[in-house]
Amino acid sequence: MVESSKKVLIVGAGMAGLTAARELGRRGIRTLVVEKGRSLGGRAASYACKAVDGRCQKCGACLVQDAIREVQESPAVEISLQTTPVALQREGRQIIARLKMGEQETSAGFSAVALCHGFEPFDPRKKPNLRYDQIPNLITGVELERMVKEKGNVLRPSDGRPAKDMAFVQCVGSRSVSLGRPYCSQVCCGYALRMARRIKTRDPSATITFFYMDVQTFGRDFERMFWEFRDAFYWIREIPGDFFNAAGDRVGVVVEDEGEITELSFDLMVLSVGMGPSPDQKMFQEWLDLRQGPEGFLVSPNSDGVFVAGSGSGPMNIPDTIVNTRAIVNHLTDYLEETP
């Protein structure tokens, strides 16, 4: 057991930050969790449960509230919301942090820092052909998650009516050399298929089409789930090139299907946006002399008191974030035990 006099700074209170605080607290290690937002949970807190007929689809959304509750109840965890680091620097075996909350700034020393700063969803405005923000019923997967969580139904933003004829467009902001994002985000196929399955189960009359390059089967359960529900959806192995407003506020697309150029339209279309590095990582790189991996995310040095956990180090879903963070906490604990 590490002596309780040692304290770790955790930057970010998403799933990685909560997991790090929880695991360290269980080992008797005190932490300060700083979060720039107004609440705990990060992006994962806005994700909807995708259970079907009471059966869990292992999306991990329900794990967020469990982690929040345990962290709030832990006597080893201190939480500071609406707080951001304005400087981090190594001084010998310590990390000196200057933190800003509102107009106030404080400085403190920590035995280590865990960077759990998360990711940034791709902004579809960077692809002009999508005409995002110009077509009212063209939304992102992030917006769909929030809609389902808050309203329980899938509704068209233009008129509030239920969407009966939907489409998902995969690999938006992933696997694109021209955008500087040639990698697969790994989570998009999973979250789109789970959401489609939830929608179809609750409304069997709904029709759902997938536009895709290929299907990436990450995770033990995904392949089984894919084959179980594959025939419930329409699959077009083509990413639409042009998007436009169609009659009735429908979303129109131009695609090549089986060698023919055709126009299709849908009540609602969902862009499965990929995961990119958080803009916050630039300051961490500068302050702590960290390096990027081939996909542009930070590499965790696991030394000198600096550790990177969760999607700050690469695309991953909620369950994988938990596994990754637990491994990082093991390295962090070893480091503290070896530090005078």
* SS3 call for 84: strand
User: Domain tally for the chain?
Assistant: 2
- For the cut 70, the answer to whether the pLDDT of residue 3 exceeds it is no
How wide is the angle at C-alpha 64 spanned by C-alphas 60 and 67, nearest 5°?
A: 125
Q: Which of 275, 300, 317 is the last residue of a domain?
A: 275
CA distances, 296 to each of 13, 258, 292 (Å): 22, 36, 5
Q: Which of 185, 171, 285, 148 is nearest to 238 (CA)?
A: 171
Residues 306-320 have pLDDT tens digits of: 999 999 999 999 999
The verdict on 133 and 232 lying in the same domain is: yes
Query: How high is the pLDDT of residue 210?
Result: 93
Residues 87-106 have pLDDT tens digits of: 999 998 899 999 999 889 99
Query: How high is the pLDDT of residue 93?
Result: 86
Residue 101's beta-bridge partner residues?
83, 104
Question: What is the share, in percent, of the chain residues with pLDDT greater than 90?
Answer: 68
Residue 106's beta-bridge partner residues?
99
- For the cut 80, the answer to whether the pLDDT of residue 213 exceeds it is yes
Contact 301, 290 (CB under 8 A): yes
Residue that the structure tokens 């990413």 belong to: 239
- Assign 219 a pLDDT band (cuts: 50, 70, 90): low
Domain residues for the domain of 190 are: 121-275
- Assign 1 a pLDDT band (cuts: 50, 70, 90): very low
Sorted by sequence, the CB contacts under 8 Å of residue 310 that are 6+ apart come out as 12, 14, 15, 16, 17, 19, 116, 118, 316, 321, 324, 325
Residue 1 domain-assigned (yes or no): no
For residues 10-38, average pLDDT? 97
The verdict on 286 and 327 lying in the same domain is: yes
- For the cut 60, the answer to whether the pLDDT of residue 148 exceeds it is yes
The verdict on 106 and 249 lying in the same domain is: no
Angle of helix 141-151 relative to helix 188-202, nearest 10 degrees, comes to 40
Q: Which of 228, 251, 275 is the last residue of a domain?
A: 275
Contact 299, 292 (CB under 8 A): yes
pTM of the model as a whole: 0.91
Mean pLDDT for the chain overall: 90
The verdict on 96 and 68 lying in the same domain is: yes
The verdict on 156 and 227 lying in the same domain is: yes
- For the cut 90, the answer to whether the pLDDT of residue 228 exceeds it is no
What CATH number is attached to the domain comprising 329?
3.50.50.60
The verdict on 18 and 111 lying in the same domain is: yes
Pairing mode, strands 77-81 and 30-35: parallel
For residues 191-206, average pLDDT? 90
The verdict on 190 and 47 lying in the same domain is: no
